[in-house]
Amino acid sequence: MSGPNILDMSAPPMRAVGIKTQFGPNVIHENLDFTVNHGEIVGLVGGSGTGKSVLLNTMLGLKEPEGGYVEYFGQNRDELTADMRGQINKEMGVLFQGGALFSSMTVRENVMVPMRESTNLSLSLMRELADMKINMVGLPPESAVLYPSDLSGGMKKRAGLARALALDPKLLFLDEPTAGLDPVGANAFDELILGLREAMGLTVLMVTHDLDSLYLICDRIAVLVDKHIAIADSLEAVTQYDHPWVKEYFGGPRSRAAMNAGKIAVSGQKE
């Protein structure tokens, strides 16, 4: 039997307060505050070496910060018991770069891993649920028995996403989800995330360099510069933010092309 529900669903799914991280004398983040609100897709951007992956690992609990704390659904992670952490972990899914699939397991077996670790479901039910997740992310039924080496890059991403969604989490972390995909595949993945957000009521935090994703699906963009989140706001507000990196990143020709493409896509959706 599971314990009482400790989640405060009126609280933000994830909140970082005063985070400090460092490796030896090298301080990566300092006095970093960041909140992800219910139902939104937030894109986390920053220059090379700003510690986006370190911040993601800190928010996932894979790295303990040297200062500050992280809250999930109103609960301070530092104050959680092992059982409480287990409950919250079920509400969090993560897609790492490249999918991070187990090479010796089939797609179905990969998707079943979180179920084996966190539930007492029968093997037949786990298989059935895994196949549902595989279908949900747009993979053909026959992919369930394939191994990662048999999959294309885009299929690996989708298989990793199916595993991240295995326990029906409320909060989904995506690490460079469209990296390595061609424009058509990247756009299809963006559309998939939008559809899953609506279907499952997901809250999504996405680390990305993909300007198209930022323009097409993100409700807010969080900019990591100078060791903290300088701004986390709408695309319009972020593009007007007075910082050299922000101006260079959002003011270049690739950004203008992505902005125009995003406007065309939004216009097409309204027609």
> Mind listing the domains of the chain with CATH numbers?
10-91+170-183+205-271 (3.40.50.300), 99-168 (no CATH)
Structure tokens at 3: 């314990």
Q: Is the pLDDT of residue 261 over 60?
A: no
**Phi, psi angle pair for 216, to nearest 5°:** -90, -40
Structure tokens at 14: 């994830």
Confidence of residue 256 (pLDDT cuts 50, 70, 90): low
Q: Is the pLDDT of residue 175 over 80?
A: yes
**Phi, psi angle pair for 15, to nearest 5°:** -145, 125
Q: What is the mean pLDDT of residues 126-130?
A: 97
Cβ burial, residue 74 (10 Å; 0-12/13-18/19+):
middle
**Phi, psi angle pair for 23, to nearest 5°:** -125, 105
Structure tokens at 218: 């993100």
Confidence of residue 266 (pLDDT cuts 50, 70, 90): very low
DSSP state of 217: H
Of all residues in the chain, the percent with pLDDT exceeding 70 is 90
**CA-based torsion, 54, 58, 63, 68: positive or negative:** positive
Structure tokens at 229: 């989140």
Confidence of residue 156 (pLDDT cuts 50, 70, 90): very high
Q: What is the mean pLDDT of residues 55-65?
A: 93
Confidence of residue 98 (pLDDT cuts 50, 70, 90): confident
Q: Is this structure's pTM higher than 0.85?
A: yes
